[in-house]
Structure 1
Amino acid sequence: MKGPLDIPTARRRYVTVCALFWLPLGLSIAPLILLLTERGMTTAAIAGLFAAHSLTAAALELPTGGLADVLGRRVVLVAAGLLNLTALALVGLGSAPWLLGLGMVLMGAGRALSSGPAEAWYVDTVHADSGPGADLRTGLAAGSSATSAVLAAGTLLGGALPWLLGLGPDLGARLSEASSGLVLPLSVPLLLGSAVEIAFVLYVLTALPEPPRAPVALRDVLRGIPATVVGGLRLGGRDTLVRRVFLSAGAVGSALVTIELLMPGRAAAVTGASESGAVLFAALACAGFICSGLGSRFAPLTGRLAGSGERAVMVSLGVGAGGLLLLGATAGATGAGALVLSAIGYGLLYLGLGVAGPNENDILHRRVASTGRATGLSVQSLVMQLVGALIGLVVGVLRPGPVPWLLGGCVLLAGALLWLRRSEPASPSPVARPQPPVACPSPASQDATARS
């Protein structure tokens, strides 16, 4: 029987999985809202579709994290890929509201399934090869950088494809006519993303080996999920650092939703038209992903220079909060100087978030045992989505101007201030998981060691 993968190979495969999974999302960022509008959906209906996606992802975060800890990382990742493949095809081809709604719900389910297993697989593999003291930040940073890079490239490609298809004489019309109206130029990036999901599923099946797990009946899995969920919720209650990681995730969610809600309108106001504003927003989103990727690459260096991962998180979140507050300070200003300061603030926000992510997750992996690794990541994602949704509702009802921006900046600054006090080291916190009725624990379940 082959031994565990060496660290460079595991890192390379983890980076590839991150890239293949997030490229389809990047392809859909620019055309999605325009496609839904082209299908006849109103703004309120589109908001409802996005709410269905977010609520589905939030509702399934902890149960699906528990599934990854019980059934294995690979099978859950494959399920996520298949759900996203179906979702992108439905949204790309569907015209009926119920089909579009089903697609967004499936996309939310895929997002929930994917929010921990790949990273948990990488950490498990590194620990199996080199023990719990092995460096994780380098691999986590590489995965974050790859995610940012493919999101940036996908955003540009997804925005350019429909425009390029429209350059030919009546090409878009002929494409729509040949497919009986199912395929519009705006549909093409989503369908391309669906094809990428096929490659993702095949790669996961062939490139992510796992130690054998004892067979578990479906009823035992379902019966054990509540205990895993409760254990995940207790993680933050008994470990100060884990609680700070979760609360910081909520602060990051508030910052991201502030940008997502306010930046498109601000870009349109700068250019004077919604169409050109959409192009500017796509360029800004690409620049943001690049800054986030650069931040992720510098995450290990920042941790070393700051003296600890905790201080690195505090500094990087503070930088991000400064960027968002700068955007708020220039919200009502005009002129070239204000635009330059706004661009600097936008870059600082994403740079700070990029540095913070790998350092936060490094802390989380050191504090949570292997049996709860994916569950802990799911709790982190759940808090980010729920706090982001709450702040988004508040931002949405505030009058346009500096105040909504400043609200998001202040919440992110509060997340940075959580890390002012250092915590005493503690042993990793396990998460209760259902045990199979027969057989001995798998090798992975024996690894109740500290996170790197």
Structure 2
Amino acid sequence: MRHRADEALGIRTVRRRYVTVCVLLWLPPGLGLASMVLLLGERGMSLAAIAGLFAAHSLTVAALELPTGGLSDVVGRRPVLVTAGVLNMIACCLVGLGTTVGVLTAGMVLMGVSRALASGTAEAWYVDTVQASAGPDAELRTGLARGGSATSAALAAGLLLGGALPWLLGTGTGLGAGLSEATSGVVLPLSVPLLLGAAVRVVLVCYVLAVLREPPRPRATLRSVLRGVPVTVLDGLRLGGRDALVRRVVLSAAAAGGALGVVELLVPGRAVELTGASDSGALAYAALACAGFVCCGVGSHLAPFAARVAGGGERAVLLCLGTGTIGVLLLAVTASSAHVLATTFAVTGFCVFYVGIGAVTPNQNDLLHRRVPRERRATALSVQSLAQQLVGALTGLVVGVMRPGPLPWLLTGAVLLSGALLWLRRGEERAAQVTATRPAPTVE
């Protein structure tokens, strides 16, 4: 009994540390959401230049997603997280203080490298540590759900704080003028959220070095890294191709990524249409985005409950993706109307969508981690993330050339529904149950 109590205490500690890392990882991106585009505009960048800077970030993440996942599997989670924190701290300073295209491009590229390094690494550390403590059948879903909730809460809090700080430091309060005079205009009020994000990264690096311990692994050398990373990446890709369950996880995650990309693309325009002005539309979208993060966090928190209600992880994924599809359909049927009732249904659909998306990730990742070995875990998460990004970009391009109205939303709902329908096939699980319950043959 004492051993079980100590084990439970250890798992609670691991969960708490994982949640803390999630907050420290995602608070800086939240801080930059509200101010980065405006800051780049203040630095004299045109809209095309700003789009190019964000494209440099996105392409860097896509190019390095798989290699950095393999690197995490080969050298360990802790050094990769520390490297991600240091690079992002430098990137936040470059973007926050940079005034030339070259410096800003370097900052956005470094931000992309950091994002790729951090992708899935903290989650892989959590699963490694829990399974090393409690065995391969340890309960993972609760910790994954709490990590998802912490991520959403950090993004929401960062969005609010990142939007409020420039206003508080604006010239209307006198603080912004003093700040600009003291720094010769290099530090603008809009720079402060990014610089605060750099400070948070310092805290992240110190926290990871101080408390994140990982199970022992073979010592990595330069030769082992150069040989091991490509092999690990290829093995991770092969695993997704030959394992039906892993393939379904990746495809359903890609469908969710496509739906998220469309929602983020179309909802700002609908907010402007409803309010009648770009400024008020931007404010309305900021409030909606914050509500979306909150709903996503609520969905993550409800993920274990969804699994209990549905009767298992696979059915929970089906239920949650179906819930997200209902939200998208509500956005579709209200797309051509600005009536108060239609707007209410649209906001409801927006919130329902994010609750469903928030609940699906812990459930499908719980299935993934039970199927993927430790030495391929971060790579599998990177494959999943890359699929989300690619399908999100492709769906966004298709929807972007379509006429406004219900049709883009119906296409998005069809994409998400296709991801849900993948989980109607549960033959493998039934076969495993039959095998487990079949009596062993007797030897005569």
Shorter-chain TM-score range:
over 0.9
Which residue is 1:152 aligned to? 156
Which residue is 1:413 aligned to? 417
Q: How does 1:28-67 map to 2 (within 5 A)?
A: 28-67=32-71
Q: TM-score normalised to the size of structure 1?
A: 0.91
CA distance in 2, matches of 1:407, 1:183: 44
Structure 1 residue 87: deviation in Å? Answer: 1.2
Which residue is 2:303 aligned to? 299
CA distance in 2, matches of 1:9, 1:169: 43
Residue pair 1:161, 1:188 contacting (<8 A) in 2 also: yes
Structure 1 residue 255: deviation in Å? Answer: 1.1
Equivalent position amino acid for 1:156 in 2: L
Structure 1 residue 178: deviation in Å? Answer: 2.4
CA distance in 2, matches of 1:177, 1:397: 46
CA distance in 1, matches of 2:178, 2:332: 45
Picking from 381, 390, 397, the partner of 2:394 is: 390
SS at match of 2:23: helix
Using a 3 Å threshold, how does the CA distance of structure 1 residues 10 and 152 change in structure 2: closer, same or farther? same
Task: Name whichever of 64-73 and 261-270 sits farther off.
Answer: 261-270
CA distance in 2, matches of 1:48, 1:384: 21
SS at match of 1:6: helix
Between Structure 1 and Structure 2, the one with more helix by share is 2
Structure 1 residue 121: deviation in Å? Answer: 1.0
Residue pair 1:31, 1:158 contacting (<8 A) in 2 also: yes
CA distance in 1, matches of 2:356, 2:309: 15
Structure 1 residue 240: deviation in Å? Answer: 0.9
Equivalent position amino acid for 1:19 in 2: V
CA distance in 1, matches of 2:388, 2:380: 13
Q: How does 1:15-414 map to 2 (within 5 A)?
A: 15-166=19-170, 168-414=172-418
CA distance in 2, matches of 1:426, 1:203: 44
SS at match of 1:193: helix
SS at match of 1:399: coil
CA distance in 2, matches of 1:116, 1:406: 31
Structure 1 residue 401: deviation in Å? Answer: 2.5
Picking from 7, 13, 18, the partner of 2:11 is: 7
Using a 3 Å threshold, how does the CA distance of structure 1 residues 379 and 405 change in structure 2: closer, same or farther? same
Residue pair 2:129, 2:215 contacting (<8 A) in 1 also: no
Once the two structures are aligned, what percentage of the paired residues are identical? Answer: 66
SS at match of 1:120: helix
Q: TM-score normalised to the size of structure 2?
A: 0.92
SS at match of 1:135: coil
SS at match of 1:419: helix
Point out where structure 2 has 5 or more consecutive residues left out of the alignment.
Answer: 1-6, 432-444
Task: Name whichever of 197-206 and 398-407 sits farther off.
Answer: 398-407
Task: Name whichever of 36-45 and 189-198 sits farther off.
Answer: 36-45
Point out where structure 1 has 5 or more consecutive residues left out of the alignment.
Answer: 428-452
Task: Indicate the RMSD between aligned Cα atoms, in angstroms.
Answer: 1.9
SS at match of 2:428: coil
Equivalent position amino acid for 1:210 in 2: E
CA distance in 2, matches of 1:164, 1:426: 59
Residue pair 1:5, 1:129 contacting (<8 A) in 2 also: no
Structure 1 residue 36: deviation in Å? Answer: 1.4
Equivalent position amino acid for 1:297 in 2: H
CA distance in 1, matches of 2:177, 2:279: 20
Residue pair 1:325, 1:410 contacting (<8 A) in 2 also: no
- Count of residues in correspondence between the two structures: 427
SS at match of 1:333: coil
Residue pair 1:240, 1:423 contacting (<8 A) in 2 also: no
SS at match of 2:138: coil
Structure 1 residue 398: deviation in Å? Answer: 2.1
Equivalent position amino acid for 2:201 in 1: E
CA distance in 1, matches of 2:262, 2:371: 30
Structure 1 residue 64: deviation in Å? Answer: 0.6
